[in-house]
Amino acid sequence: MAQLNFGGSLENVVTREEFSLEKAQDILQDEVIAIIGYGVQGPGQALNLRDNGFNVIVGQRYPSPTWDKAIADGWVPGETLFSIDEAAERGTIIQYLLSDAAQIAAWPQLKAKLTPGKALYFSHGFGITYKERTGIIPPADVDVILVAPKGSGTSLRRMFIAGRGLNSSYAIFQDATGKAFERVVALGIGIGSGYLFETTFQKEVYSDLTGERGTLMGCIQGIFAAQYEVLRSNGHSPSEAFNETVEELTQSLMPLVAENGMDWMYANCSTTAQRGALDWWKKFRDAVKPVFEDLYASVSSGNEAQLSIDSNSLPDYRSKLEVELKELRDSEMWQAGKTVRSLRPEAVKE
């Protein structure tokens, strides 16, 4: 483990240079990694671990669309694909990758399989941090660890195939065996992390819920919609409004920020753009910071967690979700986006 300086703050970081894949394989050579759930994070982590040479099995409900997806991805029923019960029975490391609501429902079933010395692995701190609300309280004789990729399972897999790594956080909630650190870091390297930075279950879920509702999804959609609507109300066409709001940001500017930072991107745009951006960014910060403060307070109080538990546990959750997603999908902005994306050069058929 190395200590790196992030803006004056020293943090514990593990890189692939100091903790090699070969070392991870050696540490986990006698382990059976059971991936429970094959939805958002499950496929990417399972496939990356398998391709990296680890002993991986998948536990999933049958029949279900995700069971069929697992078969399509090469998992074989009775050999590497099992029911949740049987996979959890066979696994020495159980990667609990069901949705938060599904984790609550399946917990009594899974807990029965947590025999002494096993490891219980999460990619989200929700179930443990809010254990009074979720009822997920692990036995004292198992390791409880976390690796949280900073992106979707799809991104994790795509970057792995491209030979790159997606950064992840790691945490240890309970070290029953004395091997929790080696186990969690080896798993983090095995799933294809670029580097691993230390956190806690609580900090992971607080930052994750804030980010999802903030700049990663909720806030960015709100900002997109506000600018698009102002441009449209002032006579700009859907194509122009979408290109100036979304397309230029995602296709041109954000890749530059990802590669070199916002300061570099500012320094390499027109002087008119520089001046405007420098004059306006603090106004936007001051306008939205109170909203973020309210958001963080709602997260840290447990209110956001309870809202998620209550909503996502309803029997008609998915049908209600589809109505909300349809509102986004059918909006003029994202219909314009669908057309704009079809016109990108890579979409042109030769």
Q: For position 1, what pLDDT does the model report?
A: 77
Per-residue model confidence (pLDDT) at position 349:
42
Rounded Cα–Cα distance for residues 329 and 326 (Å)? 5
pLDDT score, position 14: 94
What does the pLDDT read at residue 9?
87
Task: Tell me, yes or no, if the two domains 2-199 and 211-347 fold the same way.
Answer: no
pLDDT at 79: 98
> 211-347 has which CATH code?
1.10.1040.10
Cβ contact 39:152 at 8 Å: no
- pLDDT by residue, tens only, the chain of 350 residues: 788 888 888 888 999 999 999 999 999 999 999 999 999 999 999 999 999 999 999 999 999 999 999 999 999 999 999 999 999 999 999 999 999 999 999 999 999 999 999 999 999 999 999 999 999 999 999 999 999 999 999 999 999 999 999 999 999 999 999 999 999 999 999 999 989 999 999 999 999 999 999 999 999 999 999 999 999 999 999 999 999 999 999 999 999 999 999 999 999 999 999 999 999 999 999 999 999 999 999 999 999 999 999 999 899 999 999 999 999 999 999 999 999 999 988 644 43
- Catalytic positions: 124
Residue ranges of domains in the chain: 2-199, 211-347
**pLDDT at residue number 10:** 86
**pLDDT confidence of residue 347:** 46
Cβ 145 vs Cβ 119: under 8 Å: yes
The tens digit of pLDDT for each residue in 104-150 reads 999 999 999 999 999 999 999 999 999 999 999 999 999 999 999 99
Q: How many residues does the chain have?
A: 350
| Residue 174: predicted pLDDT | 98
Q: What's 2-199's CATH class?
A: alpha beta
